[in-house]
Amino acid sequence: MQYRTLGRTGIKVSPYALGTLMFATSMGNDPRDSVRIIRKALDAGVNVIDTADAYGDSEEVVGKALEGRRDDVVLATKFGRPTGQDPNRQGASRRWIVTAVEHSLRRLRTDHIDLYQLHRPDPGTDIEETLAALTDLLHSGKVRAIGASGTPASDIVDAQWVAQRRGLARFHTEQPVYSILNRGIEREVLPTTQRFGMGTLVWGPLGQGLLTGRVRRDHNDLKRAGMVRHLSDERRLDVVETLVPLAAEAGLPMTHLAMAFAITHPGVTCALLGARTEQHLDDLLAGVDVTLSDDVLDRIDEIVPPGTDVGVLDQAFQPPALADPGLRRRPLAARAAA
């Protein structure tokens, strides 16, 4: 496996990282099976494990799996998404960060986190407040690098400028969604992370299961079984039907085509695998050395133009100006007066 450097941190990471959302017991996995999958990935050369405090008991499962192997792993986790009903048990305030990191360290059974990431932007907290708290964690040794996830390009720039002006640590990484179906980050996010020398760990390279080749337009049984939650967007299925013969012509399984595409972009450091079973992991790892030809990449560009998204990903971050209608409309009284 050819290792890459995570931005300017000097940390060497595998091109595939293991995402652990599926290892929460609430997702239906037996923790013992999850531990075996994690250790199998490590044996194969994957050295990045990515989890989050909002993934149920995933951090605890990861902590168990890493017993005796902690020093061989670049351990990443995230904070910021709700972890309970208390409105203060979420977000990017100093108050929550210093509490959340202690909880994660305990669950992960470690004294430090290699990459600590803000799970989603928190418009209600000044970015200086967040960076100041994370800088203190870096100085304490509890955290070795810091990053964010799902951040718009303008906010990435703002965070970098604030860090420079205030003498604070800057975000070392960004974790956006990226796949053949979701190429929007090629327009601004990836050029921005490249400009600032940031590492980029992309999630969703298999398009939430659509790019596995197992979900087709005529597979109504899969829809009824609820195996994929987002099949209502017919445009995404149309693209899949076009990609299937392309993968066949290239002599590749769809999963290998999709994963190879994700790690081909020079702005991408590594792509997160979401393997639920050992069989899924074996299939994905078999394609780690696949390289796509320029002809295949050109064909993909024709199907999904660079910098565009096909449909809307249900887990994508929505800025407040888009999510809250009230921020796009003057009050009725003001409109009436006008």
pLDDT of the chain, 338 residues: tens digit per residue = 899 999 999 999 999 999 999 999 998 889 999 999 999 999 999 999 999 999 999 999 999 999 999 999 999 999 999 998 999 999 999 999 999 999 999 999 999 999 999 999 999 999 999 999 999 999 999 999 999 999 999 999 999 999 999 999 999 999 999 999 999 999 999 999 999 999 999 999 999 889 998 777 665 445 544 544 444 568 888 999 999 999 999 999 999 999 999 999 999 999 999 888 999 999 999 999 999 999 999 999 999 999 999 987 666 777 787 888 888 888 877 656 66
Residue 208 Cα distances to 17, 39, 227, 272, angstroms: 16, 24, 10, 12
The domain tally of the chain equals 1
DSSP string over 130-166: HHHHHHHHHHHTSBS-EEEES--HHHHHHHHHHHHHH
Looking at the DSSP assignment, which residues form a beta bridge with residue 115?
Answer: 76
The two tokens of residue 215 are 């979900």
Rounded Cα distance between 236 and 83, Å, is: 32
Secondary structure tally for the chain: helices H, strands E? 13, 10
Q: So which residues are the catalytic ones? A: 55
CATH no. for residue 19? Answer: 3.20.20.100
Whether the Cβ atoms of residue 24 and residue 62 lie closer than 8 Å to each other: no
What is the residue-wise DSSP string for 269-294? -EEEE---SHHHHHHHHTTTT----H
Q: Where are the alpha helices (DSSP H) in 2-125?
A: 31-43, 58-65, 94-108
The whole-number pLDDT of residue 221 equals 44
Position 214 scores a pLDDT of 78
Domain that holds residue 130: 4-337
**CA geometry: angle at 18 spanning 1 and 12, to 5°?**
45
234-262 residues labelled b (16+ CB within 10 A) or e (exposed)? eebbebbeebeebbeebebbbbbbbbbbb
The pLDDT, as a whole number, for residue 103 is 98
- State whether residue 9 is helix, strand or coil: coil
What is the distance between the alpha carbons of residues 206 and 276, in angstroms, rounded to a whole number?
13
pLDDT of residue 234: 80
